[in-house]
Amino acid sequence: MLHAYGVRSKQIRTLKLTDIDWRRNEIRFVHRKGGKTVVMPITREVGESVLDYLQCQLSAISRFNLVSAIPPVVPSFYA
């Protein structure tokens, strides 16, 4: 994600599952300093990486933290 979106590591660490809109294939990054939200398309590579990561984290499910949540739907680029 760092490379694909040019965001800071803290922005990735603070991502929540609600920041990812699987139906629209969009991901939201909030710039903490200015509070601006940037919405970007989920690339296939990033989508696959996030899904792989989430599947490995099934033992610690939380609807709030991306690092331990299950995506609500399969992204449409898999359809």
Q: What is the CATH number of the domain that holds 11?
A: 1.10.443.10
The answer to the question of residue 41 being in a domain is yes
User: Which one-letter amino acid corresponds to residue 17?
Assistant: L
The answer to the question of residue 79 being in a domain is no
CA of residue 61 relative to chain centroid, distance: 15
pLDDT value of position 27: 92
Look at the chain and report how many structural domains it folds into: 1
SS3 state at 37: strand
For residue 1, count other CB atoms closer than 10 A to its CB: 19
Range of the domain at 45: 2-72
The answer to the question of residue 77 being in a domain is no
Percent of the chain having pLDDT more than 90?
15
Which of 30, 27, 33, 19 has the alpha carbon at shortest distance from 64? 19
Chain segment 1-60, per-residue pLDDT in tens: 767 777 877 888 888 888 999 899 999 988 777 778 889 999 998 888 888 888 777 655
pTM of the prediction?
0.62
The answer to the question of residue 10 being in a domain is yes
